[in-house]
Each structure stands twice: as structure tokens, then as C-alpha cells.
Amino acid sequence: MRGLLRKKWLIILIGALILIAAVVFGAFPGSPLNKTLKPVGGIAAPIQRVVKSAGNTLSDFWAAITDGIAIRNENEELRAEIAELQYQLTQSEEALIRYEELQDAFHIRDTFSNYDIYGASVLSREADEWFSVIRIALGNTDGIMLEAGDSYAVVDVRMNLIGRVIEIDTNESKILPLTHEGFVVSGKVNAVNGAGVTITGDASLKNDGLCLVTGIDPDVILEEGTEIVTSGDGGLFPQGIPIGTIESVDYSDPLNITATLRPYTDIADLNDVFVMVPFSVIEEQTELRESGNLTPTYESEVSEESGS
């Protein structure tokens, strides 16, 4: 036995076979293997936060030195701008009161008003082109949960779509980015009765930060710069979230017209994101929790079992 263990290739082979078995077993919904990495977070997560904080401090320090003169000039301009903005703010407040009166009067339905927004900072980004899950600091402890078959839209500060939540843990969530080939969302041209399209991530476009647009009606002429927003079909995403603009269209095959879309947001530039959770889901989960049928622990299990 000792002789066998000295053979490196045998050890590599046995190790590889065990790990392949773990990968396959771990891919099954609800596999207990997926929980084995949770204790790692006890050490890895705080250290990564320290690295992030140290990096940001260094970056800020460097920026403070290089941008010193520019900041001084900018400061003068900003003071003038603040005075202007204060005047505009007063006017906007009046306009808001009028808008709310109108909204009540005409029963305008603001789709996003049905959603609660949870802010979170980005903890880690992709390690390479395949290891591309993004972790954010938002978990069950923040009151956000994920039930089987559900997912929540993730947007940036300008409400542009970034991706969707695929797993929620106690203190953090995992996001599938918009450019990943597993990502699919129904979209439409941002116009009244705009044509519907399907936006997916694509392996060949991912490195350029682009998405693939399919399902384009042959009668529809898509132009470069056309804005695409979520259509609301499928129920996962609310209608009207900006996704990006059309960058190019390929009409070479009339039966399969495709286009490329450049998302508005590059996730590599983001430090904070926002998760949109429907109020109906929050209420439902609150009721279940109060009745004792839904606990954060159970919730984590549910999200793992769903696998999406």
C-alpha cells in the first residue's frame, strides 16, 4: 500500500477521480456537497474584505495625490454647481408634488414601485472567463431569501440590468452576470409596442463585454444604438429595466437574424449593486417566517435545492 502511495501518477489519478465524482455529485440539486465550502467563508471572507479595503485605501491614496490639483479646480466649479442645483431642487420638489397628484389622479402604475430595492457591495468578481460567479454582501440575514424557481433582478445605481441572483446564503449572494452564456432575458425595443427580442450571454462575445440578441422578427429593422429594455415576459424581471444598446445587426440569414448588444453597465467598474425583490414575495416570506414555516436555515437549503 505504501509503495502504491509513492506512485505520483496513481495519486493524481485517484485524486482526480474523487474530485470528478464530487463535481458530478455536487451538480445534483440539493447536494450536501455544496454546503461543504461554507466553513471556508469563516476565514476567506474576512481576509478578502481586508484585501479589498486595503486595495481601495491604496487606490484612494494614489488618487488623492494625482488628482489633488484637479480636485481643487473641480471644487470651485462644484460650489457654483451646488448653488445652481439647490435652486433646481426647490423647483423639482414642486414638480414632484404635482407629479404625485397626477399619478393619483390618473392611476399611473409605476412598475418599479412594486419592488423593494436592497443595496449591496460587490465582494468578489470573476476569477477567469469560466469561474465567473459574482459575490455580493447581501444574504438571508438582510431579510432577502430565494425560493425554488425564483430569481431577482440585479441592477446598478442607474437601474441598468447587471444580472440575476442565483443563490442566497446567510451573509452573501451569488449573481449570474448578464454576459454569462447561461443568462437569458426577454427584452424589447424601448418604444411603445416595441419589438420583442431575446438577450443571452454568449461565449464568443463575453470577452468583449457584449451579449447576443436573437428572436428578432424579420420585419423589424434594428439599428445601431437602439435601446433594449426588459419586456417583463417570464415574470422574473420587471418590465422596462434598461439593458443596453444594439451594437451591430447581422441580417445575412433572414431566418435567424442576430444582433450584438452592449450592456450599459460593465460589472468590473461597479462597487455597489441593487437587488429588486417584489413586495409580494417579501410579504409572502414574512408571513411564512412569522408562522414558523420559513427560517433562514431552511431558506438556504431551498435556494440550494432549486439550483437557480
Partner 1 sequence: MNRGPLIRKILVYAVYVLLIASFQVTFPRVISFGGQVADLMLVFTVLAGYLFGFKDGAVIGIAMGILRDYYASPPITGIDGKPVVTCAIGLLVLFLAGTVGASFFTVKMNRNVLFAFAAVAFLTLCYKIAGHLAFFLWHRLALGTTYNLTFGDIILHSILPQLLLNLVAAVPLILLLKFAGPYKKGINTALIDEEKGGEQLWLTI
Using CB under 8 A, list all residues that contact partner 1: 8-9, 11-12, 15-16, 19-20, 22-23, 26-27, 29, 33-34, 36-37, 40-41, 43-44, 47-48, 50-52, 55, 124-135, 166-167, 174, 176, 180-183, 202-209, 212, 268-269, 307-308
Q: How many helices (H) and strands (E) does the chain have?
A: 7, 12
Which C-beta is closer to partner 1: that of 180 or that of 188? 180
Which C-beta is closer to partner 1: that of 36 or that of 113? 36
Q: C-beta of 20: minimal distance to partner 1 in Å?
A: 6
Q: C-beta of 289: minimal distance to partner 1 in Å?
A: 24
Q: For residue 244, how many C-alpha atoms fall within 13 Å in the half-sphere facing its CB?
A: 28
Which C-beta is closer to partner 1: that of 50 or that of 96? 50
Q: C-beta of 235: minimal distance to partner 1 in Å?
A: 15
**How many angstroms separate the most distant Cα atoms in the chain?**
85
Which C-beta is closer to partner 1: that of 165 or that of 189? 165
Q: C-beta of 226: minimal distance to partner 1 in Å?
A: 22
Nearest Cα neighbor of 303 from 163, 147, 188, 186 is 147
**DSSP classification of residue 32:** G
Which C-beta is closer to partner 1: that of 37 or that of 96? 37
Q: C-beta of 49: minimal distance to partner 1 in Å?
A: 9
Local structure of 152: helix, strand or coil? coil
Distance, CA of 56 to CA of 50 (rounded, Å): 10
- Helix residue ranges, H only, the chain: 2-6, 8-26, 41-66, 68-106, 203-206, 279-290, 296-306
